[in-house]
Amino acid sequence: MSRPLVIGTRGSRLALRQTEIALESLRSANPAAEFSVRTIRTEGDRTAASLAEIGGRGVFVIEIERALLAGEIDIAVHSLKDLPSDETKDVTIAAVLQREDPRDALVSRENTNLSELKPGASVGTGSPRRAAQILALRPDLRIADIRGNVDTRIRKVDKGQYDAVVLAVAGLVRLDSLDHAAQVFDVDEMLPAPGQGAIAIQVRADDAEAITIVKAADHSESRTAVMAERAFERRLGGGCHAAIAALGEVAGSVLLLRGLVGDPTGHLLRAEIKGQPADAESLGTTLAEQLLALGAAALMEVAP
């Protein structure tokens, strides 16, 4: 019998639901293992400031990784898109669970899709990636910064503070809230964030027992796709201010990776690449270099 393993997670409703999903996968793969859950409040949960102001996506994971490295927890569960593309020293992603729908959705006050919003309508998002792609589709709309969890953002639309918001389909599905979506964007309209829709499970790199238990829940195709996406983002090195999007899809022996870089005005550069799933990370790097050769660095430097 292995030792009981403590799982650390954020305390939001979505984070707790994702932890339930992770627990189901872990228990299915390891029927004899024992787990408990500990919630950890992160810097991202304590502030109403924008991600760009408080240091980017890492604010949702630093305290959890600190607890992991200190031995206070044995396993950390994250939305993979919250994890910076450079892995933390002495921590490893031991499993990527089977990915939920990675696309984005529009939640609007009158249940209208993007093309039906009135000129000048306000669309709430804190994501440069979403903002750039919205403006590429509808340059007449007004992008308005927004913070808060999924429920809070939907409530702000209902109260008329925003005409619409863009949210991840995966979060809506996990919270049984997909009925709020007026439109689910095709990936040709709105390419998702690297890792969007995937749940990552971290452990300490030297914890062989935890690695073995967690790896049993890994979904290889989802891992392959997100590793390509993260390599793409890592090579671009744009940070939290950059509009970077990527989506990998594995079909048999072929990995298709789409990538996008944009600026705050809605100017976008797109490219795609195909190759062997075993070459996922090198394909991500190559695709990023193709976009850099087309001028992506200049787009990422445009101030919002």
> Given CA atoms 180, 186, 189, 191 in this order, what sign does their dihedral have?
positive
Residue 99 CB contacts under 8 Å (≥ 6 apart), including other chains:
170, 197, 198, 219, 222, 225, 226
List the beta bridge partners of residue 209.
none
Cβ burial 118-132 (10 Å sphere, 16+ → b, else e): eeebbbbbbbbbbbb
Given 82, 104, 207, 263, which residue is catalytic?
82
Active site includes 140?
A: no
294/288 Cα distance (integer angstroms): 10
The greatest distance separating any two alpha carbons of the chain, rounded to the nearest whole angstrom, comes to 62
Question: What kind and span of H or E run contains 105?
Answer: strand 104-108
Question: Which residue do the tokens 């959890």 mark?
Answer: 64
Cα separation, 219 vs 208, in Å, equals: 19
Residues belonging to the active site: 82
